[in-house]
Amino acid sequence: MTGSADPKGRRPGEPVLFPELQLGVQDAPGDAAESGGREPRNLGEWVAFIRDQEMPALGATVALIHSVTEDEKSPTGKLAQAILQDAAMTAKVLKLANSALYNPARHGVSTISRAIVVLGFNAVAEIAIAIRVIDSLLAGGVRQRVVDEMARVFHAAVQARALAALRRDGRSEEVFIAALLSRVGEMAFWCFGGRLAQRLDEALAAGEADEDAQMGVLGFRLRQLSQGLAREWKLGPLLQSVLDGSGRTGAAEQAIHYGQRFAVEVESGWDAPGIDRLVQGLSNFTGLSPEAMREELAANSVEAARIAAYFGVAEAAELIPRPVAAAAKTEADEAPPAAAAMEPDPQLQLRILREISGRIAAGANLNEILQLVLEGIYRGVGFDRVLFALLTPNRLQLVGKTSLGAGAETLRQRFIFSLDATAGDLFNEFFRNPRAMCFGPGQTPPGIRIDRLLQVTDAPHACIAPIRAQGRPIGLFYADRPNAAQAIDDESFEAFQLFAQQVSLAVTAASSSRQNG
């Protein structure tokens, strides 16, 4: 027996093999502290209540993404991995990455890794946070108020982003997210406010002014709740500047204020009395003529409805005011389809394989290739879970390094197997004679025992394929379908092997580059 290993499978003093492949995700933060269960009584308690009791998953997501964005050494693969763990978020990010708002040239974006290249690391991170915020606020409460608020912020966000772009402000993406989250406190309160939300709704319905009703029922303004939540979740300095009403009056802040004003004003109709005056102000702000400004605003309203649908908020999309002629152009099929179970997609496989080949030829680092391969197996070949594992430097343990799919993080943590001379055991035999294998009724190779694997994965259908460096196995890919009715056919098995081979090719290319350098 050898000394004890650390949780990553290394032993004291051991070097790391291929450090580029040590991809992983941050450990999830600890559980939020529980409150006494009573109704919050002041602003501070409301902030804590929403943060800890109603939206703790959002806090965990924001913390994870911030940990990636704030780590200068963190590869883009970690951000892609954090997004890919959620199939619905993946679909929404890709839909946005292919939208006219973010991708006017309409360069096809098939993978999260490519989305990060096209949109930029920070833009994708901010989109992911915004998606999680919006998803967290669709739980119910005074639902019509929530939907009304969402319609307003989506409209304001798209208009503000366009205004910032017309002013050639380089922060147009940041402007979009800041405007989108500018009423996060209002939306959270209407969603989770319980009895007090009902009381405030009744007061507003009776005609009481917004801020008077808020002070009367709550003792504070909902704008202050937005300020507190924005600070707690670190939702960006621009948003905090806008909410705090600081003295800054840069183009980005002005664009957001104009977007908010227009979204509210146009709810009374595109011919409302204040629209002409506001359009003139926007014309002066952007340099467009009033006629051109109106056309821009109309087009943006259509795009805002599409973007709301991309985020999965079709109810809000329907409420965004659009001129009759412009609204008629909005296509009903723009909304993204509901997230479905992973299915093989040969066209997506081909696109990802082409991208991998191009990245290898361009000398991309191994983590980029690894992330694309994981995404190709998961989304393209259509496995429920996929995992990448490496041998420890002393070759005595196989340790899961990164994974995708439902429950994949738990699988990664449990995927640790010691190697010895025991004959017939899957992992011992695999590293003595590395080759791709498929497991399942009638598929498991004769003489191979998979009991240790099944104890960890509990998946009736699975497959593995080796990763080699200089002809020697250094790890493997594992993929499975826990549903007993979903057998792995020959086509899926062959596609899985093809993707796995790409990492071996990339490792070989990287080793050759080092030697030639």
91 and 121 in a single domain? The answer is: yes
- What DSSP line would sit under 260-295, residue for residue? HHHHHHGGG-TT-HHHHHHHHHHHHHH---HHHHHH
Q: Is 8 within a domain?
A: no
154 and 183 in a single domain? The answer is: yes
Q: Are 334 and 314 in contact (CB under 8 A)?
A: no
357 and 259 in a single domain? The answer is: no
What mean pLDDT comes out for the span 11-31?
A: 43
Percent of the chain residues topping a pLDDT of 90: 43
282 and 370 in a single domain? The answer is: no
Residue in 120, 125, 111, 129 with CA at minimum distance from that of residue 378: 111
Question: To 5 degrees, how large is the angle CA 396–CA 400–CA 428?
Answer: 40
Domain CATH code at residue 358: 3.30.450.40
Higher-confidence residue of 405 and 515: namely 405
303 and 178 in a single domain? The answer is: yes
In angstroms, the CA 396 to CA 215 distance is 65
Residue in 299, 322, 296, 318 with CA at minimum distance from that of residue 308: 318
| Confidence (pLDDT) at 140 | 67
Residue in 311, 332, 293 with CA at minimum distance from that of residue 154: 311
| Confidence (pLDDT) at 474 | 93
Q: Which two tokens stand for residue 177?
A: 């997210």
Buried b (16+ CB within 10 A) or exposed e, 68-87: bbeeeebbbbbbbbbbbbbb
Residue-wise pLDDT for 24-67, tens only, equals: 433 333 333 334 456 788 899 999 998 888 777 777 777 777 77
The domain boundary residue, chosen from 307, 334, 361: 334
Higher-confidence residue of 113 and 337: namely 113
| Confidence (pLDDT) at 119 | 84
In angstroms, the CA 188 to CA 230 distance is 12
| Confidence (pLDDT) at 10 | 41
44 and 83 in a single domain? The answer is: yes
108 and 129 in a single domain? The answer is: yes
Q: Are 322 and 299 in contact (CB under 8 A)?
A: no
Q: How confident is the model at residue 178 (pLDDT cuts 50, 70, 90)?
A: very high
In angstroms, the CA 231 to CA 217 distance is 24
Average pLDDT of the chain is: 83
The domain boundary residue, chosen from 334, 354, 372: 334
Q: Is 390 within a domain?
A: yes
In angstroms, the CA 395 to CA 384 distance is 28
Q: Is 22 within a domain?
A: no
Q: Which residues, listed in sequence order, are joined to residue 417 by a DSSP beta bridge?
A: 398
Residue-wise pLDDT for 404-432, tens only, equals: 887 888 899 999 999 998 899 999 999 99
Q: Which phi and psi angles does 463 have, rounded to 5°?
A: -150, 155
Q: Which of 215-224, 318-327, 463-472 has the lowest mean pLDDT?
A: 318-327
Q: Which residues, listed in sequence order, are joined to residue 465 by a DSSP beta bridge?
A: 477
| Confidence (pLDDT) at 3 | 42
DSSP 3-state of 386: strand
130 and 40 in a single domain? The answer is: yes
Buried b (16+ CB within 10 A) or exposed e, 143-154: eebbbbbbbbbb
Look up residue 401 and give its amino acid: K
Q: How confident is the model at residue 253 (pLDDT cuts 50, 70, 90)?
A: very high
Domain CATH code at residue 44: 1.10.3210.10
Residue in 337, 384, 407 with CA at minimum distance from that of residue 478: 384
Q: Is 13 within a domain?
A: no
Q: Is 290 within a domain?
A: yes
Evaluate if residue 247 carries a pLDDT over 70: no
Q: Which domain holds residue 75?
A: 33-334
Q: Counting runs of H as helices and runs of E as strands, what totals does the chain give?
A: 24, 6
The domain boundary residue, chosen from 272, 307, 334: 334
Q: Is 490 within a domain?
A: yes
Q: Which two tokens stand for residue 318?
A: 């329907």
| Confidence (pLDDT) at 215 | 93
Q: Are 502 and 360 in contact (CB under 8 A)?
A: yes
| Confidence (pLDDT) at 364 | 78
In angstroms, the CA 201 to CA 483 distance is 46
Residue with tokens 């009573």: 38
Residue-wise pLDDT for 438-447, tens only, equals: 998 888 899 9
For the purposes of burial, counting CB atoms within 10 Å of the CB of 505, is it exposed (0-12), middle (13-18) or buried (19 or more)? Answer: middle
Q: Which residues, listed in sequence order, are joined to residue 438 by a DSSP beta bridge?
A: 463
What mean pLDDT comes out for the span 470-497?
A: 89
310 and 423 in a single domain? The answer is: no
Q: Are 200 and 46 in contact (CB under 8 A)?
A: no
Higher-confidence residue of 103 and 286: namely 286
373 and 478 in a single domain? The answer is: yes
361 and 326 in a single domain? The answer is: no
**Other CB atoms within 10 A of residue 270 CB:** 16
Q: Which two tokens stand for residue 506?
A: 């990339």
Q: How many domains does the chain have?
A: 2
Q: Are 81 and 402 in contact (CB under 8 A)?
A: yes
320 and 454 in a single domain? The answer is: no
Q: How confident is the model at residue 332 (pLDDT cuts 50, 70, 90)?
A: very low
Q: Is 229 within a domain?
A: yes
Q: How confident is the model at residue 515 (pLDDT cuts 50, 70, 90)?
A: low
| Confidence (pLDDT) at 19 | 47
Q: What is the pTM of this model?
A: 0.72
Q: Is 14 within a domain?
A: no
